[in-house]
Amino acid sequence: MSDIIIVGGGISGLLTAREFSIRGASVTLLERQSIGKEASWAGGGILSPLYPWRQNEAIAPLCIDSLARYPQLAETLYGDTGIDPQWTQSGLLILDNPDLAKAESWCQNHAIPYELADTPAIDRLAPGLDYSADNPLWLPNIAHIRNPRLLKALRADLEDRGVTLLEDHEVTALEKRDHRICRVQTPQGAFSADLILLTTGAWSGRLWSDLFPRLQITPVKGQMIVFEADPKLLQPMVLDHGRYLIPRRDGHILAGSTIEHSGFNKHTTQQARDELEQFACSLCPALRHYRIQKQWAGLRPGTPSGIPYIARHPTIENLGLNCGHFRNGLVMGPASAALIVDLMLGCPSSIPAEPYSFDTPH
């Protein structure tokens, strides 16, 4: 029997399993299909919220704390597993900032370096763009990570640490006795542990409604496309009117993303492909010469305010939840994992947990 059972093998589950393991706990992770194949695989890997000054300020501590953790995390995983998650500090160019004063104040308050980007600066940073800018801003320190590689590296790392990873193990019920979860049911059999943690992403809202009646998590579909472009076509990430381009190291350029409330359907659509292609090729006309290699969709675990739930259950003493990270699960991942492990183990945490509790409106 392990000390901890984690249900769900996305970025939240894998990072939390790693954090528990580092602190000496034995962990079993149960995943209903394959590890790291849902939202965490589908995301763009931008390690900043889009226009962070327009987000609920409650997520800022998790984002800022994670930013500091990522370089070391990526380097350690690469060193230990041989899989490079390609943490890349490409910088983020934001072309439309009608709320410039708010943006500057947010960057100053959180010590995020920024520069006002005039036309020569934009032409130097990202030659060949076709844009009409509104108070453009350059955030040189913002990075992206190649999330499928990060997930693979985390998986390899957990295997090396002796974490038990069980795929095709869907948790179908949590059995409660005396204010504790005594058994976790799967079609392959029952499991038990001292602590049970749910990291079930977009599925959390519908799976555990009897245990968490006020949980507000719904799936929000996002579609992306990727161009098979050449390295050096574009260096920084570029954000314009809510859509973005992310250049990978091999030259591939991702364009994203849609926001669709259509239940648990992950189908891609021609309309989304056309819209994303139109956005990408208008902003970076050279992309017209490159093939779209792939289109995909993922289900973000959406909450009304974008604030995740990172908390122990109010009455079931061995149960916790780390989910609902909506558009920022990669950004907030490392800090969220550290926080939930602190809460579950009863350790003091550097980040106040109150905004992420069940009692705080989301």
Would you count residue 33 as binding ligand FAD (CB under 6 A)? Answer: yes
Helix count (H) and strand count (E) of the chain? Answer: 9, 17
Q: Which stretch binds ligand FAD (CB under 6 A): 42-50, 67-75, 131-139, 275-283?
A: 42-50
Nearer to ligand FAD, 88 or 199 (CB): 199
Q: Looking at beta carbons only, is 121 or 216 nearer to ligand FAD?
A: 216
Is residue 318 a contact point for ligand FAD (CB under 6 A)? no
Using the contact rule CB under 6 A, the part of the chain among 39-47, 82-90, 97-105, 155-163 near ligand FAD is: 39-47
Is 303 in contact with 215 (CB distance < 8 Å)? Answer: no
3 in Cβ contact with 28 (< 8 Å): no
User: Per CB under 6 A, which region of 27-35, 96-104, 265-273, 312-320 contacts ligand FAD?
Assistant: 27-35
Pairing status of strand 4-7 against strand 195-198: parallel
Cβ proximity of 317 and 178 under 8 Å: no
Taking CB under 6 A as the criterion, the residue among 27, 60, 163, 171 binding ligand FAD is 171
Among 20, 21, 32, 284, binds ligand FAD (CB under 6 A): 32
| DSSP, res 179 | T
d(CA 4, CA 197): 7
Whether 191 contacts 31, CB under 8 Å: no
Q: CB nearer to ligand FAD: give 31 or 157.
A: 31
Stretch that binds ligand FAD, among 53-61, 106-114, 128-136, 321-329 (CB under 6 A): 321-329
For tokens 């990202």, the residue is 126
Residue list 70-109, contact with ligand FAD (CB under 6 A): none
Task: Tell me how many residues contact ligand FAD (CB under 6 A).
Answer: 42
CA distances in angstroms from 205 to 43, 185, 263, 340, listed in the order given: 20, 18, 12, 18
**Taking the CB of residue 260, how many other CB atoms lie within 10 A of it?**
18
Which residues in 183-212 contact ligand FAD (CB under 6 A)?
Answer: 199-203, 207
- Surface-to-core class of residue 184, CB atoms within 10 Å of its CB (0-12 exposed, 13-18 middle, 19+ buried): buried
Residue 57 CA: distances (Å) to CA of 65, 167, 284, 321 = 14, 36, 32, 21
Ramachandran class of 241: left when φ > 0, alpha when ψ lies in -120 to 50, beta otherwise: left
Q: How far is the CB of 301 from ligand FAD (least distance, A)?
A: 5
Query: Alpha-carbon distance 335 to 319, whole Å?
Result: 19
Residue 308 is classified by DSSP as P
Whole-number CA gyration radius for the chain: 20
Task: Tell me how far, at minimum, the Cβ of 101 lies from ligand FAD, in Å.
Answer: 26
Identified binder of ligand FAD from the candidate list 5, 27, 39, 280, rule CB under 6 A: 39
Residues 286 and 306: their CA atoms lie apart, in Å, by 35
Determine the interface stretch with ligand FAD among 18-26, 74-82, 128-136, 327-335 (rule: CB under 6 A): 327-335
Choose between 56 and 121: whose C-beta lies nearer to ligand FAD.
56
Q: What track of x and - describes contact with ligand FAD for positions 210 through 229 (by CB under 6 A)? A: ------------x-x-----
Q: Which of 331, 335, 339, 343 binds ligand FAD (CB under 6 A)?
A: 331
CB of 337 to ligand FAD, least distance (A): 10
User: Which parts of this chain interact with ligand FAD (CB under 6 A)?
Assistant: 7-13, 30-33, 38-40, 42-46, 170-171, 199-203, 207, 222, 224, 256-257, 298, 300-301, 323, 325-331
